[in-house]
Amino acid sequence: MKGLLVLGLGLVALAAASELTLQERVVDLVLEDFHNRKFVQWVYKKQAVEDVTETEYPAGPFVRLRVKLQQTQCRNQPGSRQDCALNRRGRKQICLACVKFDSRSPDEVLGSYTHCRKEKQQAVSEMETRHEEECRTVQETGEVLHHIGVYAFSGELPS
């Protein structure tokens, strides 16, 4: 019975994903990955998408973007990610995401890279260069399968 429920939810998610734009799908992937981190105690919501680049390749489309996330008032628990009010004083994150999709099967991700940091944390040029190199690897080869960047936080772990 549980297997049928999971299968049904998977099919619904697949149908919904095919109706989303590539940009929306990348943002959903970032949020899903971010919330699956053990140390993320609160639900975050998308606030803004910046620096979007979509490039078409024979192997499939590549999307690079930065997304700003803001903490909500909901705890990060399964099923609690809906209808959460923003915490005005909550923490904010900036995430760089690079995703290459398969041209033969547009719902399939060939490769991805995600890196998030606190909004107030200054970007270190050496680290930014490394993140851009990871994105180029995904863009050019698509061989980095679901590689997720290390979340960089200074001081205490994020909530």
CA distance 126 to 117: 14
Ranges assigned E (strand) in 15-59: 42-57
The pLDDT value recorded for residue 122 is 66
Whether the CB-CB separation of 110 and 98 falls below 8 Å is answered with no
Backbone φ, ψ for residue 119 (5° rounding): -60, -40
Torsion of CA 19, 145, 97, 85, to 10 degrees: 60
In a domain, 104, yes or no: yes
In a domain, 156, yes or no: no
In a domain, 54, yes or no: yes
In a domain, 131, yes or no: yes
pTM of the predicted model, to two decimals? 0.72
In a domain, 120, yes or no: yes
pLDDT tens, residue order, the chain (159 aa) = 444 333 444 444 544 445 789 999 999 999 999 999 888 999 999 999 999 999 999 889 999 999 999 999 999 987 666 788 999 999 999 999 999 999 998 889 999 999 998 887 766 667 777 888 888 888 887 654 444 444 444 334 444
- Domain span including residue 43: 21-141
In a domain, 55, yes or no: yes
Domain count along the chain: 1
Structure-block tokens of residue 146 = 């679901």
In a domain, 78, yes or no: yes
In a domain, 155, yes or no: no
State the CATH number of the domain containing residue 134: 3.10.450.10
